[in-house]
């Protein structure tokens, strides 16, 4: 006997797709993120991650939550803490750094690794040390900075892990400031998140440190007394894509450790779109550069960043009763960026939800509404709308007059139902 569908089953079959669509939109709005339908692409690395910097949207990921050894990507946190200290007035780029035996390039523990070629007695500044870390990936420089900032390497590593915890990097752990140990681990997602935070808080590091192609050290001014006459050693940045003519790469850091392979955090900006790519475990230096370029090109070829609203931009206005002002503008508290698939920019629309009126007082930055962003019919995210200005209560006559008008409006609404 043929199977028949009962009426309740038919109704469920009709309703279920709409329910699922509603549920998906609701979850998207709550999280503020979305997944994109991705063109065919597979990064040749153990783990990969591609982030749109402005919107924070993930454009590509592969095993992005697998903890792996970081190698010299560890130095991103070392540099982050240095920049934070400079910003807070606890460290000056011009102050001198004493070089200990541990930070000496001849330390057996550093032999064969990336070095700035520091030596006890050299006259070197924090600024030079930072360049030695960012450009030459100097493990000696990382030790010197850690000792200078925290008194010891161990104390500095404690700061690194405390900062990782503050930033919500739950799968990240540091055991040294340079990355020589395989015990420094993180995921592509978390190291990409750290890199984005580093660039956002300290945008000058791209120009001043990470896009510098070559350093020469030591120079005569670094070598007083018995050290005079040491040869200057030129070193090129290990980020090969800084020389690439197809992409305006301006950062960030490379690394290698046998347990993981060749690692890379790379960033570039085209127009308004900055992308941050992470590759953990590529096969060689050449493969690292090639895959880094491919990852960025994949992003730039398929997405563009759009600033839908500027911070403080009025999106709507609300009538204010019993206030010194009769209306208040609703604005977005921060720039609102969205990563949109290329060719679909015209489908980005917003739906504003806000009360028609409110009663004073209204506080500045008080949340009074929201703007839901859609790409066509697909919900993307929801952003708050806040009062641009404070609206204190009006004078006695204004409050009485508006109270009468509100009472009359309520009465008329009751009779016209």
Backbone angles phi, psi at 162, to 5 degrees: -65, -40
Residues designated catalytic: 72, 75, 137
Cα–Cα distance measured from residue 103 to residue 139, given in angstroms and rounded to the nearest whole number: 8
pLDDT tens-digit series, residues 92-112: 999 999 999 999 999 999 999
Domains of the chain: 47-304 (3.40.710.10), 310-415 (2.60.410.10)
Average pLDDT, the chain: 90
pLDDT higher than threshold 60 for residue 14: no
Segment 192-201, tens digit of pLDDT: 999 999 999 9
pTM surpassing 0.75?
A: yes
pLDDT mean over 54-70? 97
pLDDT tens digit string along 227-260?
888 899 999 999 999 999 999 999 999 999 888 8
Query: Computed over its alpha carbons, how large is the radius of gyration of the chain?
Result: 28
Q: Are 29 and 21 in contact (CB under 8 A)?
A: no
222 pLDDT above the threshold of 90: yes
pLDDT band at 413 (very low <50, low <70, confident <90, very high): confident
Tell me which DSSP letter residue 36 carries: P
Instruction: Give the pLDDT mean for 55-73.
Output: 97
pLDDT tens for 305-364 read 999 999 999 999 999 999 999 999 999 999 999 999 999 999 999 999 999 999 999 999
- Encoded tokens for 288: 């690292």
Q: Which of 186-195, 251-260, 289-298 has the lowest mean pLDDT?
A: 251-260
pLDDT at residue number 12: 39
Which pLDDT score, from 0 to 100, does residue 7 have?
A: 33
- E-state strands within 183-286: 185-186, 214-217, 233-236, 249-257, 261-270, 273-282
State yes or no: 253 annotated in a binding site: yes
């Amino acid at each position: 006997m043929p199977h028949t569908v009962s009426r309740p089953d038919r109704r469920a079959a009709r309703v279920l797709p709409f329910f699922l669509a509603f549920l998906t939109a609701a979850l998207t709005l709550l999280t503020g993120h979305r997944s994109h339908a991705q063109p065919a692409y597979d990064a040749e690395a153990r783990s990969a991650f591609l982030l749109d910097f402005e919107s924070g949207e993930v454009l590509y990921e592969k095993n992005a939550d697998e903890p792996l050894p970081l190698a010299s990507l560890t130095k991103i946190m070392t540099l982050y803490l240095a920049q934070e200290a400079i910003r807070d007035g606890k460290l000056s780029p011009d102050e001198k750094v004493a070089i200990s035996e541990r930070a000496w390039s001849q330390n057996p523990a550093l032999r064969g690794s990336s070095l700035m070629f520091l030596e006890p007695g050299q006259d070197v500044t924090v600024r030079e040390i930072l360049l030695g870390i960012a450009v030459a990936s100097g493990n000696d420089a990382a030790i010197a900075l850690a000792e200078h900032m925290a008194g010891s390497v161990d104390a500095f590593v404690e700061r690194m892990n405390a900062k990782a915890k503050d930033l919500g990097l739950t799968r990240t752990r540091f055991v040294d400031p340079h990355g020589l140990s395989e015990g420094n681990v993180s995921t592509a997602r978390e190291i990409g998140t750290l890199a984005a935070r580093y660039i956002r808080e300290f945008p000058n590091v791209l120009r001043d440190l990470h896009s510098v192609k070559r350093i020469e050290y030591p120079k005569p001014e670094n070598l007083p007394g018995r050290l005079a006459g040491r040869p200057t050693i030129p070193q090129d940045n290990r980020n090969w894509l800084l020389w690439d003519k197809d992409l305006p790469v301006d950062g960030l850091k490379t690394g290698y450790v046998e347990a993981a392979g060749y690692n890379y955090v790379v960033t570039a900006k085209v127009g308004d779109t900055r992308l941050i790519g992470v590759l953990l475990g590529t096969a060689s230096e050449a493969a690292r550069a090639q895959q880094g370029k491919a990852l960025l090109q994949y992003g730039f070829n398929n997405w563009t960043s759009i600033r839908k609203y500027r911070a403080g931009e009025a999106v709507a206005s609300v009538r204010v009763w019993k206030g010194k002002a009769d209306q208040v503008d609703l604005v977005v508290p921060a720039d609102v960026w969205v990563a949109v698939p290329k060719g679909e920019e015209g489908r980005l629309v917003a739906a504003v939800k806000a009360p028609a009126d409110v009663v004073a007082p209204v506080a500045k930055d008080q949340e009074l509404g929201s703007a839901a962003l859609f790409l066509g019919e697909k919900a993307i995210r929801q952003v708050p709308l806040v009062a641009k200005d404070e609206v204190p209560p009006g004078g006695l006559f204004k409050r009485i007059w508006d109270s009468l008008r509100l009472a009359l409006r309520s009465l008329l609404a009751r009779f016209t139902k």
